[in-house]
Amino acid sequence: MPDIPIVETFDLCRRDAERGQVLLQPTSFSLFAGDRVAVTGPSGSGKSVFLRALALLDPLDAGRIEWHGKAVSRIRMPQYRRHIAYIRQRPAILDGTVEDNLRYPYTLRAYRDVRFDRERARSFAEQAGRGGDFLDRYASELSGGEAQITALIRVLQLEPEVLLFDEPTASLDPESSHAIEALVNAWLDPADARRASVWVSHDLAQAARVSDRHLTMRAGVLTEITQPAAPPGTQGDVREGTR
Ligand SMILES: Nc1ncnc2c1ncn2[C@@H]1O[C@H](COP(=O)(O)OP(=O)(O)OP(=O)(O)O)[C@@H](O)[C@H]1O
Ligand SMILES: [Mg+2]
């Protein structure tokens, strides 16, 4: 295991701006290349707050984040955003075709050094069981699962280092969920292991499939469990690994 994590948090803390209530207790967490992490826990416990803080989507109230051992300065923020991707439950899909959606990031300044690769996009779609004319389909006609597959390909083609999943399959059918897991597993490429993922899920069976490290969130406290997510009804070996 490499010494320097891809992303490391030091006493990361989030508060409710109005009432000052602590949403995320000071959290120190390291994400290493090759890590596949699952976070489970009750609704309202702070899983999304943690993930959004990790993605630097919300301002931090205390603590700090390092990326490859260095602080994420304002100047490095666009690069951080590019490499640490947050994928939410309901993706924002634009009008037009799937291909229009996949081409969209390349119109942004942050991605002007890379070009859309149609063949590669097609191969991602095939990995998710969507061959043929998928890229020509209209976004308005996509199922929820297909919209999420589109959103995921849109992110994967940009080659992020870390994927932060906030219940990406929560409202999807099992077939679509498995297609998304397959796509992510292929992308993580265990033979290479330069990348990492954090997957928030309510589904313990899914958490077990998509992770080698399991953390739980309870009332804003993140705790590491040594074993991968245990199936329902069994007890994991719990230790305070993150505080
Ligand atoms: N921007 C915010 N301002 C104030 N309170 C917030 C904010 N975002 C989240 N909260 C509160 O923080 C707590 C944790 O919310 P969070 O969305 O992280 O829960 P969660 O574990 O992701 O739940 P779920 O499983 O339902 O998605 C909740 O009480 C929520 O109301
Ligand atoms: Mg949430």
Cα atoms in the 13 Å half-sphere on the side-chain side of 16: 9
The domain containing residue 38 runs over which residues?
7-90+162-225
- Report pLDDT for 240: 37
Residue 212 falls within a domain, yes or no? yes
Q: How far is residue 194's CA from residue 181's CA, in Å, rounded to a whole number?
A: 18
Q: Give the number of the ligand closest to the Cα of residue 47.
A: 1
**Which protein residue has the closest C-alpha to ligand 1 atom 1?**
16
pLDDT digits (tens, 9 = 90+) for 77-114: 989 999 999 999 889 999 999 999 999 999 998 898 99
pLDDT-based confidence at residue 125 (cuts at 50, 70, 90): very high
- Taking residues 173-178, report their average pLDDT: 91
Residue 26 falls within a domain, yes or no? yes
Residue 215 falls within a domain, yes or no? yes
Burial class (CB in 10 A: 0-12, 13-18, 19+), 58: middle
Contact 46 CB / ligand 1 (< 6 Å) = yes
**Which protein residue has the closest C-alpha to ligand 1 atom 6?**
16
The domain spanning residue 189 has which CATH number?
Answer: 3.40.50.300
Contact 154 CB / ligand 1 (< 6 Å) = no
Distance 45 CA to ligand 1 centre (A): 7
The DSSP call for residue 44 is T
- State whether residue 23 is helix, strand or coil: strand
pLDDT > 70: percent of the chain: 92
- Count of structural domains within the chain: 1
- Of ligand 1's listed atoms, the one at least distance from the Cα of 202 is 25
Residue 103 falls within a domain, yes or no? no
- Taking residues 158-171, report their average pLDDT: 94
Distance 207 CA to ligand 2 centre (A): 15
Residue 78 falls within a domain, yes or no? yes
**Which protein residue has the closest C-alpha to ligand 1 atom 26?**
43
Contact 173 CB / ligand 1 (< 6 Å) = no
Residue 20 falls within a domain, yes or no? yes
- Report pLDDT for 191: 76
Residue 43 falls within a domain, yes or no? yes
